[in-house]
């Protein structure tokens, strides 16, 4: 229970359905500075919101310390990836390693049978294969299946998503009907552990001397200007380059070996083929031969038709039928068959440009 409307309503729906419900919140910050969280959300106020909701629902409530796990699995990963010139998605690692990892283990230690969150997604057991399938939430505008692609079959086995069959407006109405004070609480859209509007100060503090200025190059290697450090740039970025080229330029590549940012025109940001590694298969046990799927390359990407080819152990080559803008190393690529997640992995490298 994060203290928001989604997880609070999920708890209410489960109780109405006849489950014996226990509420729990992750504490991911150190008890310092008067116990205040240094993060944008998941702070003391959010914990108290969750506690009050649990009291309203008449369910037990626990606060579980996951500070070390969050620091190691999420924050360190976030900083290291930016330091390598990649663009990470910390929410995915938080889900697989912390929420459905350490947090789930602690929940099962309380002798619970199932673990539930307020995610908008669905889990269905396929009777023929015996595998748990991950499907998009009914509310496609809120669907969160993309950030859940890395979960395992054992994690799905213990998971329930009460909001998967509901739309957001229905959830807020239900929260109001239940009398939950968080029914109109705004959603948190940013990275939870970044207080500022920009992640640059956070990285500057964490990476310090590892951040070094370097050249901004065009595709031919000509120096056009200088950058403030590769962790501050991402593929497809246009603003903040500080270049006076007389035409819009975009980041098309980040080269950590040369400590260089390479820029080009908009059409040069569009690519069609890339390698995905650390693939996690959900709908099948392994990839046997090439197949077609709709592939999302970031949370906000609508997905596009592609062909997938085996490229070694836990690796896939993805070729879009039409070039896509901003294929970014470090982001997740998730493969869909209609509303079902086939699997997904991490974008390793782009291997050809149009």
Q: What are phi and psi of 307, to 5 degrees?
A: -115, 135
Percent of the chain with pLDDT over 70: 95
Q: How far is 175 from 165, CA to CA, in rounded Å?
A: 15
- Looking at residue 151, what DSSP letter applies? -
Q: How far is 316 from 293, CA to CA, in rounded Å?
A: 12
Q: Which residue has 């403030």 as its token pair?
A: 228
pLDDT for position 193: 84
Residues facing residue 251 across a β-bridge: 263
The pTM is what? 0.93
Question: CATH code for 5-118+161-177?
Answer: 3.40.50.620
pLDDT for position 2: 92
For residue 144, what pLDDT band results from cuts at 50, 70 and 90? very high
Highest mean pLDDT range out of 159-173, 188-202, 339-353? 159-173
- Res. 282: pLDDT tops 90: yes
299: which residues sit within 8 A by CB, 6+ positions away?
A: 89, 146, 147
User: 3-state DSSP: the chain helix, strand, coil percent, rounded to 5?
Assistant: 30, 30, 45
- Res. 256: pLDDT tops 50: yes
Task: Classify the C-alpha dihedral 89-93-95-98 as positive or negative.
Answer: negative
pLDDT for position 294: 98
Catalytic annotation present for 94: yes
- Among the listed ranges 35-44, 75-84, 300-309, which one has the minimum average pLDDT value? 35-44
| Beta-sheet strand order (sheet of 250-255) | 223-227, 214-217, 260-264, 250-255
- Name the catalytic one among 41, 91, 94, 270: 94
162 Ramachandran zone, left/alpha/beta (phi>0; psi -120 to 50)? alpha
Question: CATH code for 270-353?
Answer: 2.40.30.10
Distances (CA, A) of 127 to 81, 124, 133, 298: 39, 9, 10, 31
Question: For 33-46, what is the mean pLDDT?
Answer: 63
For residue 104, what pLDDT band results from cuts at 50, 70 and 90? very high
Q: How far is 45 from 3, CA to CA, in rounded Å?
A: 8
Percent of the chain with pLDDT over 90: 86
> Could you write out the DSSP letters of every residue in 198-232?
SSHHHHHHHHGGG---EEEE-TTS-EEEEES-GGG
pLDDT for position 37: 57
Question: For 203-222, what is the mean pLDDT?
Answer: 94
- Looking at residue 67, what DSSP letter applies? H
Kindly report, as residue ranges, where domains of CATH 2.30.30.280 are found in the chain: 212-264
Do 177 and 153 meet the contact criterion of CB atoms below 8 Å apart?
Answer: no
pLDDT for position 40: 56
Q: How far is 338 from 289, CA to CA, in rounded Å?
A: 19
Q: How far is 127 from 121, CA to CA, in rounded Å?
A: 19
Return mean pLDDT, the chain. 93
- Looking at residue 249, what DSSP letter applies? -
- Looking at residue 297, what DSSP letter applies? S
Question: For 241-255, what is the mean pLDDT?
Answer: 92
Residues facing residue 307 across a β-bridge: 292, 319
CATH superfamily of 212-264: Adenine nucleotide alpha hydrolases-like domains (2.30.30.280)
Question: For 74-93, what is the mean pLDDT?
Answer: 95
Let me know if 215 is exposed, middle or buried by CB neighbors in 10 A (0-12, 13-18, 19+): middle
Q: How far is 113 from 60, CA to CA, in rounded Å?
A: 16
- Res. 42: pLDDT tops 90: no
Kindly report, as residue ranges, where domains of CATH 3.40.50.620 are found in the chain: 5-118+161-177
Q: Which residue has 């997640």 as its token pair?
A: 341
Kindly report, as residue ranges, where domains of CATH 2.40.30.10 are found in the chain: 270-353
For residue 150, what pLDDT band results from cuts at 50, 70 and 90? very high
Question: For 49-65, what is the mean pLDDT?
Answer: 95
Catalytic annotation present for 192: yes
Residues facing residue 104 across a β-bridge: none
- Name the catalytic one among 42, 91, 192, 270: 192
- Res. 21: pLDDT tops 90: yes
Residue 344: helix, strand or coil by DSSP? strand
Q: How far is 11 from 57, CA to CA, in rounded Å?
A: 8
CA-CA-CA-CA dihedral for 37, 41, 42, 45, to nearest 10: 70
Do 231 and 246 meet the contact criterion of CB atoms below 8 Å apart?
Answer: no
Let me know if 109 is exposed, middle or buried by CB neighbors in 10 A (0-12, 13-18, 19+): exposed
- Res. 189: pLDDT tops 90: no
């Amino acid at each position: 229970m994060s203290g928001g409307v989604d997880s609070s309503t999920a708890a209410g729906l489960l109780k109405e359905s006849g489950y014996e419900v226990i509420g729990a919140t992750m504490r991911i910050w150190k008890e310092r500075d008067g116990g205040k969280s240094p993060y944008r959300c998941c702070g003391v106020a959010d914990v108290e919101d969750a506690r009050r909701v649990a009291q309203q629902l008449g369910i037990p409530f626990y606060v579980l310390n996951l500070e070390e796990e969050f620091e190691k699995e999420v924050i360190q990963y976030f900083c290291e990836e930016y330091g390598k010139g990649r663009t990470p998605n910390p929410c995915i690692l938080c889900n697989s390693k912390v929420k459905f990892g350490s947090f789930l283990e602690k929940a099962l230690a309380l002798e619970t049978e199932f673990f539930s969150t307020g995610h908008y997604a669905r889990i269905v057991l396929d009777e023929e294969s015996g595998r748990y399938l991950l499907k998009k939430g009914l509310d496609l505008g809120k669907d969160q299946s993309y950030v859940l692609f890395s979960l395992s079959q054992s994690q799905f086995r213990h998971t329930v998503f009460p909001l998967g069959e509901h739309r957001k407006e229905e959830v807020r109405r239900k929260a109001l009907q239940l009398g939950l004070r968080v029914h109109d609480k705004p959603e948190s859209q940013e990275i939870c552990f970044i207080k500022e509007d920009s992640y640059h100060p956070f990285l500057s503090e964490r990476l310090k001397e590892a951040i070094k200025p370097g050249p901004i190059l065009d595709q031919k290697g000509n120096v056009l200007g200088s950058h403030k450090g590769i962790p501050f740039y991402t593929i497809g970025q246009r603003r903040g380059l500080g270049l006076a080229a007389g035409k819009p330029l975009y980041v098309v590549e980040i080269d950590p070996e040369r400590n260089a940012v390479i820029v080009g025109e908009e059409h040069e940001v569009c690519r069609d083929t890339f390698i995905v590694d650390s693939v996690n298969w959900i709908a099948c046990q392994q990839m046997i031969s090439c197949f077609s799927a709709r592939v999302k390359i970031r949370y906000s990407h609508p997905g596009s038709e592609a062909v997938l080819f085996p490229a070694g152990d836990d690796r896939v080559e993805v070729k879009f039928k039409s070039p896509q803008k901003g294929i970014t190393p470090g982001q997740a690529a998730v493969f869909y068959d209609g509303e079902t997640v086939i699997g997904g992995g991490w974008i390793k490298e782009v291997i050809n440009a149009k």
